[in-house]
Amino acid sequence: MINFRMPKIVFTNLLRALEIRYNLQTSRHISSREMLGIMLYILGTSAKVSQYQERFQRIG
């Protein structure tokens, strides 16, 4: 809740809406849940790329 600035139920509902209405899909390398989490983390914390890479153990 702190990193994404929303309760878990709101996150889940937003994810479902993005998947249904806008066809957000899990790719071979990353789940749609993780995609949304990374985006919300970056927007909510003004994180730099290096910060999110470290936090989520992702390469660029």
Q: How many whole angstroms separate alpha carbon 28 and alpha carbon 18?
A: 18
Q: How many whole angstroms separate alpha carbon 3 and alpha carbon 26?
A: 21
Contact 34, 56 (CB under 8 A): yes
Question: How far are the Cα atoms of 4, 25, 26, 40, 54 from residue 45, in angstroms, in the given order?
Answer: 9, 24, 24, 8, 14
**Model-level pTM?**
0.74
pLDDT one-digit tens code per residue, 2-60: 767 889 999 999 999 999 999 999 988 889 998 898 888 878 887 777 777 777 776 65
